[in-house]
Amino acid sequence: MSYTVALAGKGGTGKTTLAGLLIKYFIKTGRTPILGVDADSNANLNEVLGLEVTDTLGTAREEMKKGKVPSGMTKDVFMSMRMEQAVIESRDFDLIVMGQPEGQGCYCAANTLLTNFLDRLSGNYPYIVMDNEAGMEHISRMTTKNVDILLIVADASRRGLQAAIRIYELARNLSIGVGKSYVVLNQSKDTPADEVINALDQAGVELAGVLPADDTVYEFDRAGRPTIELPEDAPVVEAAFKMFDAVLNHNAPA
């Protein structure tokens, strides 16, 4: 069985960057091979990882809908072949991208494809890192299910905390198989205020760690450099690795 870590949170909290840092951490600590999953229709995990996307699950589904299945091949065989082709391979990790939905506002079929394909792929990768779309829709549609760790990335604003707590409560109430949930306070300029800690305590969700605002991240982003290449002595990388040590080693599989 794969050990799966999923990331969630409202837009702009830096969850995709954190997903890349987690993959970087897994590589450094010898936890390979890894499957990176970009379950966000606005896909950009590939940019964090320095990979070019040529195929997505959404593209495969569109081809099938438009009748591009070769003569003599069933739709199931065609989809299986195209989804295998959509896996982007790298040295220590691979990446699969959900891509755009088949119609305006409709993500159901793309999500179903992703969920079913992950079930098939999970036996090939001991570690899976899933970067989800912003908000809570992926949880209510149960795209995020049967994960060992759910990292809910938030800022320390009131709305940011409220969004994180709502995601935590939704995942808990739906009983979708999340082993342990944590909140991560990202891009922080100060030590969290007592009100922040109290709000998390009252909600019953544990704080995994506080990651500092780091200009190195913005410099890499401006230069178009993959943030997985951030130096290990960068403040956010040091803080993230320390947090991953605590969270993942505490919840390591038996």
* Predicted pLDDT of residue 167: 87
At residue 67, does pLDDT exceed 80?
A: no
Contact partners, residue 138, CB within 8 Å, separation at least 6: 8, 39, 111, 132, 144
pLDDT more than 90, % of the chain? 41
CATH, domain 3-250, list 3.40.50.300, 1.10.760.10, 3.40.50.10490, 3.30.950.10? 3.40.50.300
Look at residue 238 and give its three-state secondary structure: helix
Residue 170: pLDDT band with limits 50, 70, 90: confident
* Predicted pLDDT of residue 140: 43
* Predicted pLDDT of residue 183: 95
Nearest to 58 by CA among 93, 103, 94, 16: 103
Contact partners, residue 242, CB within 8 Å, separation at least 6: 209
C-alpha distances out from residue 240 to 52, 131, 187, 199, 212, Å: 25, 16, 11, 22, 9
At residue 95, does pLDDT exceed 80?
A: yes
Q: Determine the average pLDDT of the residues in 221-236.
A: 95
At residue 113, does pLDDT exceed 70?
A: no
- pTM listed for this prediction: 0.88
* Predicted pLDDT of residue 142: 45
Tokens of 70: 């070769």
16-20, 143-147, 240-244: range with lowest mean pLDDT: 143-147
